[in-house]
Structure 1
Amino acid sequence: MNHHAQTALLVMDVQNGIAGRYMKDESTLQPFQRAVSAARKAGVSVIFVRVAFSEGYPEAGPRNKMFSHLAQAGGMTIADASTQIHDSVMPQSGEPVVTKYRVSAFAGSNLEVILRAKGITNLVLCGIATSGVVLSTVREAADKDYAITVLKDACLDGDPEVHQVLVEKVFPRQADVMTVEEWANTLA
């Protein structure tokens, strides 16, 4: 069972301001809920990752195409409702909530410190969006020599074609790609 102790499920950007944009109904986040409960049951660490900025947006620079507009738009600060983890996957006591300042889960966050402290070598990724946090985190985690699994049905993207290309052609070069159910079965 030691293998489970070295594994963490990263639940990435499943926060109010982001999940809300992708939700058709309550069922949209069910794969995320199933992944979280399977991890907890098997003794796999669950770590939540969100994107948020300090008051005044000192981390969002003018050259950053994705985040430069934030200062005008407002919201997305650390205390803001939009950056809190969505209720459907509410963190339990002792489950870290990591704040990142860019697209990748590692960008400006304490994620790596937590992984090192817990002796984690295997990352299981789910998140929103496939072409955003999941892609950036797969690439960076692979370069850092983590073993990676991507839960393809617990990844959402606004563009189904982009999602398809990533899970079928791009991610498999660096990660095992499977459904939540397939992964849950490997934990049993």
Structure 2
Amino acid sequence: MDIGSAALVVIDLQNGFVNHHSRHAVPAVSDLVAHWSDTGRPVIFTRYFNHPGSPYERFFQWDRLQEPPETEIAPEFADQALSAYATIDKTGYTLFTPEATDLIRETGWTDLVFCGIATESCVLKSAADAFEHGYAPWIVTDACASDAGPEVHDAGLVVARRLIGEGQLITRDHVMRQISAYNMAAVLE
């Protein structure tokens, strides 16, 4: 991972997705964001918004995350989200809205490091789309969760290994070592 050309992408850490299955990821992501921010590298937050007549309503009969407080970033991230490089609003699974696609291209980021909720859907789809757009996708496996439970999280990781490669799935410890190396190199310059 090239932290010097990377952005950390926090996927959909919103009130409507944080539950008893996914709550354990909140402190892990918060810690990761804090350490990443200390490098001066960009952090991007995404927010998902459902809407009447959406495919989620039509095919899943799922009408949640259409208004506050469900759509709001979880309170643990309020300050971090305010100081984020950008917040991308989306109505589908992926980070790659036209706004995000332009932002990533214009900034020259080559690596996108994903964490958040839900591993099997929005995190996976964003990472797979990054791969297909020619970026190096990284999924921080212990800073992701599924609001549908640990079995679904694990299934998402199985599919991620097939779609973006085994080596693209990393842990927070791996990221922390990369951050330390990046900081050390900056001190030596």
Q: TM-score range by the shorter chain?
A: 0.7 to 0.9
Question: Take 1:85 and 1:92, find their aligned partners in 2: how far apart are those partners?
Answer: 10
> 1:33 matched to which residue of 2?
30
Measure, in 2, the Cα distance between the counterparts of 1:17 and 1:69: 12
1:18 corresponds to which residue?
A: 17
Contact 1:16 1:81 in 2 (8 A): yes
The 2-side partners of 1:163 and 1:58 are apart by: 27
Separation in 2 of the partners of 1:150 and 1:59?
31
SS at match of 1:82: coil
Amino acid at match of 2:116: G
Change (3 A) 1:65 1:145: same
Q: Is the 8 A contact 2:45 2:84 kept in 1?
A: no
Q: Note if contact 1:5-1:43 (Cα within 8 Å) is conserved in structure 2.
A: no
TM-score scaled to structure 2, two decimals?
0.79
1:60 maps to: 54
Residue 58 (structure 1) shift: 6.3
Q: Percent identity?
A: 25
The answer to whether residue 76 in structure 2 is matched with residue 88 in structure 1 is yes
Cα 1:163–1:20, aligned 2, differ >3 Å: closer, same or farther? Answer: closer
Runs (4+) of structure 1 exceeding 4 A deviation are 61-64
Q: Note the 1:1-188 alignment, pairs <5 A.
A: 3-20=2-19, 22-23=21-22, 27-53=24-50, 57=51, 60-61=54-55, 64-66=58-60, 69-70=62-63, 76-77=66-67, 80-90=68-78, 91-93=81-83, 95-106=85-96, 108=97, 110-157=99-146, 158-167=148-157, 169-173=158-162, 174-175=164-165, 176-188=168-180
Q: Return the offset for 1:92.
A: 3.3
Structure 1 CA distance, aligned partners of 2:128 and 2:22? 26
* Alpha-carbon distance between aligned partners in 1 of 2:55 and 2:156, rounded to the nearest angstrom: 28
Q: Any unmatched runs of 5+ in structure 1?
A: none
| 1:124 positional shift | 0.2
Distance 1:103 1:21, change over 3 A: farther
Structure 1 residues 180 and 52, CA, compared in 2 at 3 Å: closer, same or farther? Answer: same
Structure with greater proportional helix content = 2
Deviation at 1:4, TM superposition (A): 2.9
Provide the alpha-carbon RMSD of the alignment: 2.4
CA distance in 2, matches of 1:83, 1:162: 22
